[in-house]
Amino acid sequence: MKKVVGVYNAPNQHWVGDGFPVRSLFSYRGHEKTLSPFLLLDYAGPTDFAPSHQLRGVGQHPHRGFETVTIVYKGEIAHRDSTGQSGVIRSGDVQWMTAAAGILHEEFHSEAFTRTGGTFELVQLWVNLPAKDKMSAPGYQTLLNDVIPKVPLPEGAGSVRVIAGDYSGHAGPARTFSPMNVWDIRLSAGSAVGLPAAEGWNTAIVVLHGAVQVDRQTSAREVQMVLLEREGDSFMLEAKSDAVVLLLSGEPIDEPIVGHGPFVMNTREEIAQALNDFNRGRF
């Protein structure tokens, strides 16, 4: 079984634009080796927003060299990007955007959610691209709730929504550039379940709600992350209360990481080129 490396607390909340109060559970500045291919995770909410006539969110901004994965738990997000893609994602939906060679993107609370207000909760995950794919054409995957397999866990322990990768023969709809599992797990209080985690892969357990115990000895509560060693091919997860957990596991991309704001490349020269291309309107 995989051993626990550590349990990590989220730092204090900060705002991204005026619509996303987030806590960053990890970033590539500090976890670049132990969490590759995952670069960053921001957890927004849950936050209650009052009804408004003014859209809240983040205006047009660039990305290059990686993918953004937005998992909506509550609320609605309207998005639009420079490839012409636009739409609204709601509770249970996932937006998997490949920035790659460069994209301009904006995201706001939807008009309907803005008018009614309510509870807002989402996760945005940054996923690195291998060097050979960083300058691929940008793309977009809409993964609606009804196309994401929801697989029951043994003995009524809960369920796994397979966003990417595979669980128990059920493949997630996301197309990825490197092998990984992204699972939205719901656990019932008092349950225990053994889960697979590939040998040699980096694995993190992000607790969004409730309290769990990993491998019968390490406790974690909401808005904490448990990092596991690469060695081993499984782990035990016990729910001390009803819990919502995001499991991230992937084959490491053992390449240099150089980041600057919304750009993540392999060298400083590539970052300089990204800045130059953006400033010259080439995205």
Which pair of tokens denotes residue 145? 């709730």
| pLDDT for res 153 | 97
| pLDDT for res 9 | 95
Burial status of residue 155 (CB atoms within 10 A of its CB: 0-12, 13-18, 19 or more): exposed
Q: Between the CA atoms of 136, 173, 203 and 205, what dihedral angle is there, to the nearest 10 degrees? A: 130
For residue 279, the surrounding DSSP H or E stretch is helix 268-279
Q: Between the CA atoms of 212, 120, 42 and 232, what dihedral angle is there, to the nearest 10 degrees? A: 30
Strand intervals (E) in 114-176: 118-128, 139-143, 150-152, 158-164, 166-167, 170-171
Tens place of pLDDT per residue across the chain (283 aa): 999 999 999 999 999 999 999 999 999 998 889 999 999 999 998 999 999 999 999 999 999 999 999 999 999 999 999 988 899 999 999 999 999 999 999 999 999 999 999 999 999 999 999 999 999 999 999 999 999 999 999 999 999 999 999 999 999 999 999 999 999 999 999 999 999 999 999 999 999 999 999 998 999 999 999 999 999 999 999 999 999 999 999 999 999 999 999 999 999 999 999 999 999 998 8
| pLDDT for res 71 | 98
CB neighbourhood size of 59 (10 A): 10
| pLDDT for res 238 | 97
| pLDDT for res 231 | 97
